[in-house]
Each structure stands twice: as structure tokens, then as C-alpha cells.
Amino acid sequence: MARISIRDLFRFRNSRPFIHSYPLSSSVSPEVSVDAAKSSQRRNCFALLDASRSVIQVSKIHANLITLGRFDSFWARKILKLYWDFGHLDYTILIFKFIDFPGTFCINTVLKAYSLGLSPSQALIFYFEWLGEGFCPNGHTFVPLIGSCAKMGCIETGGKCHGQVVKNGVDTVLQVRNSLIHMYGCCERVELAYKVFDEMTTRDLVSWNSLVDGYARHGYMDVAHKLFDAMPERNVASWNVITSGYLKSGIPGCVLKLYRQLVKTGMRGNNTTMVNVLTACGRSARLKEGRSVHGFLIRTAFLKSSIFIDTALIDMYSKCQRVKVASRVFDSMPEKNLVCWNAMILGHCIQGNPEDGIKLYHRMVGKGRLQDREGNCIKSERIAKGRGNILPDAVTFIGVLCACARARLLEEGRGYFEEMTNFFRIRPNFAHYWCLANIFVGVGLVKPAEEIIRNIPHHIVDESQDSLIWANLLSSCRFERDFWFGEQIAKSGIDREPHNLSYYRLLLNVYATAGRWEEVARVKEMVKEKIVGSMPGCNLIDLKEIVHNPRGEELRPLNTRREQPFS
């Protein structure tokens, strides 16, 4: 394998395209010698770029071309492809601006970069801008473009792109049709996804997997499973799609059943497979099955140590009341990110010893508690900058505040809430206010707790985007006196203002936090009776993923197994 050496790089940099002196008797003209030198340099540069094995090597050659004044549109095309090949999306987009007359390949490459970036909408803007400049798209253009629409979840722009597909005559390209199936599935228009699928004369595994995923991701598990059974062949992605659907629908028992079928086929899963299985074991509190999966991973050396699998093991053992085992897994991890820190902190704070969870939080952020001579905590401060360089997020503080509620640490709990909002600038959500109120209830201060619940800002009560995250956590943490005071506050508000949706949302949040799904359904019916129409923006009703119960698959909320016609 060819590699770039420092000597080669300096040889390229120090070479000159001009010949300063020529023998008088030479039969070769100076112009020919100059052209030969330039051609030689171009070949050397091509060889160096082709031998590059990292984005750092490419950027060094790029820098040399700039400093020597030789970087132009020709080299921009070559370097743009290399930056894309090495996954450097920002540089791919930046280099494009130096190309004078970009062709279809260059434009398609930038579309791919935009579609994989943080702003997929820029792909659409970029496409229509160049369409106005006379750009002629091909089949490779629409795969990332439609993928951007899927990422945005925007059916309007997706429909426009579908129209562009038909207009440019690429609607029979297999990859384009697969992208359309995926896009319509992501936008919850599964009937359109099936229509595209049904009209295909040629299908592959991606076609089937995309359609199954479209139904599964929106809870149509009956149809998804029928399609899964009808597949002419399956790969690991097929099994992952259907198990992820059951997991999202709050039916972990089916995940374990499908995994047993997968093992019987002799097919080996991947990281996603094992994470799904371990998550299912945790959500259904099936310690025996979870241990069996863990043992299988160790015995067979199935996969190398993975941060995803280790985090799933921590979560599974914590939810199965084996926090010490989870802690051993955590301590053995060679590297840790915020997600695994949160999993272990929540394990201690909700399932184990709350004081251990608070200590682990201090360890994560690199913070020590200064104490006076009597051992009383007087303040916190940052220590040892090299330690604790991971910043907490909203989920971290849900665990810390839960720990304070369980341990009845009033002053500490108020301090952590203030630290979250003022020091880390994290905006509190309903879960944080709920935990703070339970801290007051735990020490007998019911009226201040009621005031906290009454004074939750309306925009926070109305938000439901992150409800699955915090409700999943709080539904497994039962505080003293549980939910009664929140229920009373919401009901009194409904009695005073029966048409105020905020009180109904508060009541839904309270019941969801306590895991009372029958009451959630009852409140939904109450809203239908008292207020015409459905409650806008309240996805909390659809809490399929939240059920944390030893027999969770039997306590499915409403609409988890919705029937959907094929066409």
C-alpha cells in the first residue's frame, strides 16, 4: 500500500515549474521544458493525492497547492472528492465554491454532504438554485435529495422532489424508488410508500426493509409483521427494523421472541441487534434473559467491546435491580460518553443508592464538595480541569433530582436545580419541576410543592417533544405520596376552567409520570367530550415506549397495534 512520506511532500513543494538556465546547444526549447516540468509536477501531485490515507494528508497537500499558488478549479474537483471520501462534509461544501464550472458529479457530491449534515434543508435550496442555472440532474441526484426530505419529515418538499423525479425520467431507477419509500414512511404516509412499492417491477432487500420500517416506526406492527413474513429473503437489517418497531411500540416480549428466531436461522446479528435485545430485557425486567445474552456475548466473543452494547448492559442491569453489576460494567468500559454516564447515574439514582448517583455526577463533571470543619457541605467548585470534561444535560439532572427526592435532600435538591438553570444553562422541563416538587413533599412541605406545580410555565406543560424521555424515567421512580397532589391541582384547575387545555395536559403528564395508562386514556376521552376536537400538540397520549413493568407487553397503551390497509 502506497503511503505519503515527508520526503515526497517536500520534493513536491520544492520542485519548480520554471527552468532558470538552458544549455545553448539544447535542441529542446524552454517552453517545452516548462510544459514537461508542469506535467511532471501534476503527476506527482496526483500520485500523492491517490496515496492519501486520511483527511490530514489531503489537507496538507491542499495547503501546499494554496501556498504555491497552484490551487485552481482543476485541483478543487479532485480534492472535493477526497474530502467527501474521508467524510469531511464541511470541507466538501467549502471546496465546491472554488470550482468554476461544476459538473453533475460535483453537485451530487455536495448534495450528499448537505443531506448528511445538520441542515438537510440546505440540500433542497442548493438543488433548486443550481436547477435554475441549467443543472441537469440524474438518478444519483435524487437519492440524497429525497433523503434530506425524509430527515426533515416534510411531506410537501418530498412531494415536490417526487415530481422532479418523474419530470426528469428517473422514476424507474431502483435506488430512487427505494428513497421514495423511505421518505414517505418517515413522513407517516405509509399508503404512498406502499403505492410506490406496489408499482415497482424490480425490488431488492432495501425496498422491503424500507417499507417494513415505514409501518413499524409509526406503530402499524400488524402490517409490518405481515410484510416481514412475506419477504423473499432477509438480512440483519430486516430483523433490526422489525425488532426496533416492537421496542418502540412497547412490546419487548416480541423482540425477544424474534431474536430467538434469528438465532435459529444461524444468522449473526450486529450491535443494533444486541442493543435492541438488551433494551427489551431491561424494559420487561427479564434478568434471566438479559444475563443469558450477556453470557453469549462473552463466550462467543461475538462483538468487540462497544460503547453502545455496554451502555445497553448498564441500562438493562439497572432496570433489573442489579445496579452493582451495572456499575462493574461501567467501570470496565475503556471509554465513556454522556449517554453511558447518564445510564449509570440514573441506575444509582432511581434503582440503587441515590447517594452513589450524586457522587457519580460529581465525578462526571469534575466537581468537588468543599466542607467545613464539621463536615457540612458549604459550596461546590470546579477542580482539576483535566477531570470531568463531560457536561451534563437535562436527563442527567432528572436522575440527580430523583436522587434528592428519594434521599430527602431538600437543600441539595434546590441547589442542583439552581445549578442546572444558572450554571449549565439547561432549561427545565416538566420532569425537573415534578422532581423538585416531590423533594418538598418528601420532607413534608406540601404547599410549596403545590405552588411549584401550579406555577409551571404553560409553554413547558404544553411541550411534548421530549416527553417520552423523561416519562420513561419517572414512570419507574415512585416517590412518596406519589402523584396525588399533582392530580388534585390539575383537577381543581379543570373545575375552574373546564376549557383550558393546559390543565388537561398537566393531568396527562401527572398520570404518565405515575404510569397510570388507564387514566391517561380516560383523560383523553374527557377532552373529546368537553372540548370539540383533539388536543393539539399533545403527543404524551401516545406513550408506547414508556411502559416499564415486569409484564409491560400486557399493558400496552392505546393505538400500539393499529391496523392499516396495504393500499
Q: How confident is the model at residue 387 (pLDDT cuts 50, 70, 90)?
A: very low
Helix %, strand %, coil % of the chain (to 5)? 65, 0, 30
- What are the beta bridge partners of residue 220? 561
For residue 239, what pLDDT is reported?
A: 96
For residue 24, what pLDDT is reported?
A: 38
Question: Considering only 262-271, 274-283, 336-345, 539-548, which range has the smallest mean pLDDT?
Answer: 539-548
Distance CA 332, CA 334 (A): 6
What is the DSSP-derived secondary structure letter of residue 552?
A: G
46-86 pLDDT per residue, tens: 676 666 777 777 777 777 777 766 666 667 777 777 777 77
Res 314 pLDDT > 60: yes
Question: Considering only 259-268, 396-405, 541-550, which range has the smallest mean pLDDT?
Answer: 541-550
Query: Is the model more confident about 342 or about 447?
Result: 342
Distance CA 243, CA 216 (A): 9
125-139 pLDDT per residue, tens: 999 999 988 889 998
Distance CA 294, CA 96 (A): 48
Res 448 pLDDT > 90: no
162-177 pLDDT per residue, tens: 999 999 999 999 999 9
What is the distance, to the nearest Å, from the Cα of residue 83 to the centroid of all Cα atoms in its chain?
A: 24
Distance CA 567, CA 546 (A): 31
423-441 pLDDT per residue, tens: 999 999 888 988 898 888 8
469-495 pLDDT per residue, tens: 444 445 545 554 455 666 766 776 677
For residue 39, what pLDDT is reported?
A: 62
Distance CA 64, CA 41 (A): 12
- List the Cα angle 522/523/527 in 5-degree steps: 120
Res 420 pLDDT > 90: yes
For residue 193, what pLDDT is reported?
A: 95
For residue 325, what pLDDT is reported?
A: 95
Please classify residue 395 by burial: count the beta carbons closer than 10 Å to its beta carbon, then call 0-12 exposed, 13-18 middle and 19+ buried. Answer: buried
Max CA pair span of the chain? 108
The average pLDDT across 501-523 equals: 72
C-alpha cell at 387: 477531570
Residue-averaged pLDDT of the chain: 77
The average pLDDT across 208-225 equals: 94
- What are the beta bridge partners of residue 471? none
The average pLDDT across 403-413 equals: 92
190-215 pLDDT per residue, tens: 999 999 999 999 999 999 999 999 99
For cell 433489573, what's the residue?
A: 320
C-alpha cell at 268: 449473526
For residue 85, what pLDDT is reported?
A: 74
Does an H or E element contain 377, and which? strand 377-382
Percent of the chain with pLDDT over 90: 40
- Helices 394-407, 430-442: axis angle to 10 degrees equals 10
For residue 563, what pLDDT is reported?
A: 43
Q: Going along 103-234, which residue ranges are E strands?
A: none
For residue 100, what pLDDT is reported?
A: 77
Distance CA 378, CA 389 (A): 23
The average pLDDT across 502-521 equals: 71
The average pLDDT across 225-234 equals: 95
Distance CA 258, CA 236 (A): 12
Does an H or E element contain 311, and which? helix 307-319
Of the ranges 396-400, 456-460, 537-541, which is most confident? 396-400
Q: How confident is the model at residue 238 (pLDDT cuts 50, 70, 90)?
A: very high
